[in-house]
Amino acid sequence: MLKPIVTISQDFSFEAAHSMPKQTRFPGQTHVHGHSFTVKIELKGEASAEEGTIENFELVSSKFRELVMKLDHTMLNDIPGLENPTMENIGLWLLGLGLKIDQRLNAVTVGRPTLGQTCKVQLPEKRASMVDGETAPFRADALAA
């Protein structure tokens, strides 16, 4: 019998500044400016038959709040790994570090709600990569690099 997979999510928000020096096509973004960001953390797994959940939401919140708050009221370009702080790179950074917190992390969505923009970074269904034609285990540290 197939077991259903459940996805739960927790939303966070933070305020940060950045500049986009590599976005030469959009000169208005090259100077320092700020945004209100949202982050959605998604965990995926099988619900426990005993408890009926994959994780207590309070635990999810406490596990990931510290990670997201590392970005709050910062200059994103000054954070190692976010020298080019596009929404895609912020999502990849959070996913890479978040997998060290909980391997059930499946996706991170970063948004700028005042602009109506979101970017979802999601792991492939099979957490593996192809190396010389063979399947290798997915490496969370590869994302954090």
**pLDDT recorded at residue 47:** 80
Distance between CA atoms of residues 138 and 145, nearest Å: 14
As a whole number, the mean pLDDT across the chain is 83
Choosing among 3.65.10.10, 3.40.630.10, 3.40.50.740, 3.30.479.10, the CATH entry for 5-144 is 3.30.479.10
* Confidence band of 48 (pLDDT split at 50, 70, 90): confident
Which pLDDT band, with edges at 50, 70 and 90, does 28 fall under?
low
Which comes out higher in pLDDT, residue 35 or 28? 35
Instruction: From residue 8, give the alpha-carbon distance in Å to each of 28, 56, 76.
Output: 37, 10, 27
How would you classify residue 47: left for phi > 0, otherwise alpha for psi between -120 and 50, otherwise beta? beta
Structure tokens at 120: 């979802």
Distance (Å, rounded) from C-alpha 39 to C-alpha 108? 7
Q: What is the mean pLDDT of residues 23-32?
A: 68
